[in-house]
Amino acid sequence: MTEKLKTFNAEDFFYMPVDPSKGEMIIEDLVPNGLTVLAGAPKSCKSWMVLDMALAVSAGRSFLGKVTKECDVVYLALEDTDKRLHDRLTALEETNSRLHLATQCKSLDDGFLSQINDFIDEYPNAYLIIVDTLQKIRGKDVVSSNSNQYGREYAELSKLKEFADRKGIAILVVHHLRKLQDKTDPLNDILGSTAMSGVADSILILKKERTRANGELLSVGRDSAQWKMKMIFENYRWHVVEIETEEEIAKKEIPEILFWIRDMILEEGHWEGTATQLLDDIREANMNPNTLSAKISNYYYDVFYPAGIRMETKRNARERLMIFTLMNDEDETELNDSAEIPEGHADVSNDSSSGSEVEDFDKLTPEENHTLAQAAMNRLRGIVSRDVLPS
């Protein structure tokens, strides 16, 4: 007989208190209860970082400036010999009895979780398990087979996450980055399939040039904002130099070319033409027109709107035009009122002097529809951030 699907009533759930420990942080903004993946290149001092982390949590001191929950910690240094681990521990000149060390354990398909479960039974205040590295506990099938990588990794990581969720603990696994880096999405740098980022509750990406002491730690979590730490490795420990918030990271990703365009429009007061003509005017030969149009749409409220620049789009018989003008107070009010309408439709259609009709959605190409829809969403985001969120 098939087991009945278990559901719960939304209204009852709405009024039901939820145990706050389920979403508790072991390390503020870094390691929540559940599964965390710390990925870094070889020789990026990952093991030094997690040993210092283990010492900090077991002593209840801060780690990288973040508050920790004091508890028993298990650090599985599976790539180290006893001597190498001893050398590291003495180099840090710190120890305490709540940090439990091991250099060997079972694999996931041969009793690893049973070993951890037995340890938690013996030490019920153990809330952080660090596995250095994930590869050392992977099952034989995962290591030897190349088929269906996503499915195998998803099932493997899900075992760790489900166990951590059930026990109310945090499991952090150390992993590696690809040799070839993806400049568009740092999560794609993690070695393996997208199951790594799909299952984990928190992703930490550590980057360091092998010959330099400088590095950075990127944090991406389900329940916390993205941020980046700039750090330096000194005296066997990582030290924070600067922290960038999600908003600051996003602003740094804005192409410089958009600021050139903004400055040109502020100087001229008005500009009208195609994306190709705009690229010609600023003498930019390394970007194609469609990319420029998408960048302007994505970052309009970050670059142009704060400068008081209004943008409209329209199509004549041959091509699509972009129109940039400086806004007055009435323009800004009108722009806010028409926020639900994609860029270039409500505004341009009211301009009887334009001599061109705005194209209907059903006549647009899929690419144009996507760009206009994205512009509308950006407009809505901008209005929410200005009018709804507290200052």
Please write the tens of the pLDDT for every residue from 107-165. Answer: 999 999 999 999 999 999 999 999 999 999 997 765 555 557 888 888 999 999 999 99
Percent of the chain with pLDDT over 70: 75
For the chain, how many residues are written? 391
Residue 190: per-residue pLDDT: 79
Q: What single DSSP character describes residue 177?
A: B
Residue 339: per-residue pLDDT: 45
Find the mean pLDDT for residues 296-323: 89
Q: 343 pLDDT exceeds 50?
A: no
Q: Which of 113-122, 179-188, 246-255 has the lowest mean pLDDT?
A: 179-188
| Residue 244: φ, ψ to 5° | -110, 130
- Rounded to two decimals, what is the model's pTM? 0.65
Of the two residues 105 and 196, the one the predictor is more confident about is 105
Q: pLDDT-based confidence at 86, cuts 50/70/90?
A: very high
Domains of the chain: 17-250 (3.40.50.300), 254-385 (no CATH)
Q: pLDDT-based confidence at 103, cuts 50/70/90?
A: very high
CA distance 246 to 154: 27
Query: What are the DSSP E strand ranges found in the chain?
Result: 25-27, 31-32, 34-40, 72-77, 99-102, 126-132, 170-176, 202-208, 214-221, 227-234, 237-244, 270-273, 309-315, 320-326
Q: 4 pLDDT exceeds 80?
A: yes
Of the two residues 367 and 80, the one the predictor is more confident about is 80
Find the mean pLDDT for residues 6-20: 80
266-303 pLDDT tens trace: 999 999 999 999 999 988 888 888 889 888 988 888 88
Q: Which residues in 238-262 are b (16+ Cβ under 10 Å) and which e?
A: beeeebbeeeeeeeeeebebbeebb
Give whichever of 51-65, 133-147, 228-242 has the largest mean pLDDT.
51-65
Average of per-residue pLDDT values in the chain:
81
Q: pLDDT-based confidence at 357, cuts 50/70/90?
A: very low
Find the mean pLDDT for residues 208-220: 87
